[in-house]
Amino acid sequence: MGKYGLKGFTKQPIHILKPWLEYDGGSYKSYAKVPAKALLEVAKHLPERNLEDRQNFSPTLKDFLHVAEICSEATFDVYITTEERADERVTVEGVRFPSDRKDVKSFLLDSCIIEPNITEKNDGIIRMWWD
């Protein structure tokens, strides 16, 4: 038993997120701009305790899943630590969403412990991340 569930529970999420793989460090994998639909699919394969994970005082994974449900245009920066590590988990460390979605921005700011880094460019996209 790992931190959040039975060892190996990240295998299916790794398979689902393969198209968005940005970095493969063996026991650590990062994924960029994962669509909301894919994140929601990953969640179906996670132990309930993993949904309470938060990266660097960000909102919880459950909070990011709520954003995925209400804002299909959102994309997420995800990382996975594999079963090779004691802290096997799936977590979100950043999100992008349309700048006209003030409800999403407000929800995320209310859900985090510390303020995120935020960029808002003229392309109509807000990026928030916690590092």
What is the rounded average pLDDT of the residues 9-36?
A: 97
Per the structure, the count of domains in the chain is: 1
**What pLDDT is recorded for position 1?**
67
Task: Tell me the pLDDT of the chain averaged across its residues.
Answer: 94
Residue 115 belongs to some domain of the structure: yes
For residue 74, pLDDT over 90 is answered with: yes
For residue 40, pLDDT over 90 is answered with: yes
Residue 37 belongs to some domain of the structure: yes
Residue 109 belongs to some domain of the structure: yes
Q: Which domain holds residue 99?
A: 11-129
For residue 80, pLDDT over 70 is answered with: yes
pLDDT level of residue 4 (50, 70, 90 thresholds) = confident
Residue 35 belongs to some domain of the structure: yes
What is the rounded average pLDDT of the residues 111-130?
A: 92
Residue 3 belongs to some domain of the structure: no
Residue 6 belongs to some domain of the structure: no
What is the rounded average pLDDT of the residues 29-49?
A: 97
- Long-range CB pairs of 28-32, under 8 A, 24+ apart, other chains included: 28/79, 28/80, 28/81, 28/82, 28/85, 29/79, 29/80, 29/82, 30/77, 30/78, 30/79, 30/80, 31/77, 31/78, 31/79, 31/80, 32/77
For residue 85, pLDDT over 80 is answered with: yes
